[in-house]
Amino acid sequence: MTDAAPIVSEEAAGRCGYQGAPGAFSYEACLDLRPWDEPVAFDTFAEAIGALKAGEVGCVLIPVENSTIGRVEPAATLVEQSGLVQVSDAWRPIRLALMAPRGARLADIRTAESHPAALGQCVNFLAGIGVKAVEAFDTAGAARDVAEAGDMTRAAVAPLRAAEVYELSILRHDIQDNSDNRTRFVLLSSADA
C-alpha cells in the first residue's frame, strides 16, 4: 500500500527543499540547478524528504554519492526508502575550503568542524596540518557555529559561499584530497518538477 501523493500548492511548487544551512553544498545546488525555486533549509535529510511528502515543498535536492567517499549516508538510504520518484540527477564539483573567524591564522587552528561526508573528503589535508576533525550536522551549519563562537582556534570545512554568508576568512582553498571531487545530487518530486 502506498500513500497518496499530497496535493502540492502553487507556493510549495516553487520551493526546493535541501538539508543544511544557507551556504551548504545542497544550498548551492538548489541555487544553480533550480534558480527559479526558493531554497528551503531543513536540519536533516529526513525532514527535507518529509516536507516533500507533506506537500510543503515541490521538490527536494539530496546528495547521495561522492566520488571520494562513496555513498552519502544517511541520505542515500533515505532516498531509496522514500518511495519517491527520482526526477533527475547531476554530478557537481565539490571544492572544500578551510575557514575561520577574521584574524585567525592557520597555525592557531586546533579543530575543523563539518558534516562527516565533507570531513571524509579532506582527511589527508587535516592530518597534514595537525587539525582534529569535529563532526557537525552540516558544512554551512559548522561555518555558522564557528562564526558565532568567534574562537580563533576553531575552523570549518565548507564551500566558499558559506564564508561569504557567515563572514569568515578563507585560510586554505581546495583542501579536498581528490582534485576531481564530485557529488551526485538527486532531485525528488511528488509532481512534475
Question: Can you give the residue ranges of every domain in the chain?
Answer: 14-93+181-189, 97-172
Q: Is 5 helix (H, G, I), strand (E, B) or coil?
A: coil
CATH class given for the domain over 14-93+181-189: alpha beta
pLDDT of the chain, 193 residues: tens digit per residue: 344 444 445 556 789 999 999 999 999 999 999 999 999 999 999 999 999 999 999 999 999 999 999 999 999 999 999 999 899 999 999 999 999 999 999 999 999 999 999 999 999 999 999 999 999 989 999 999 999 999 999 999 999 999 999 999 999 999 999 999 999 999 998 754 4
By C-alpha distance, which of 16, 6, 185, 184 is closest to 83? 6
CATH fold of 97-172: D-Maltodextrin-Binding Protein; domain 2 (3.40.190)
The confidence score (pLDDT) of residue 13 equals 75
Count how many Cα atoms sit within 13 Å of the Cα of residue 39 in the half-sphere of its side chain: 21
The domains spanning 14-93+181-189 and 97-172 adopt the same CATH topology: yes
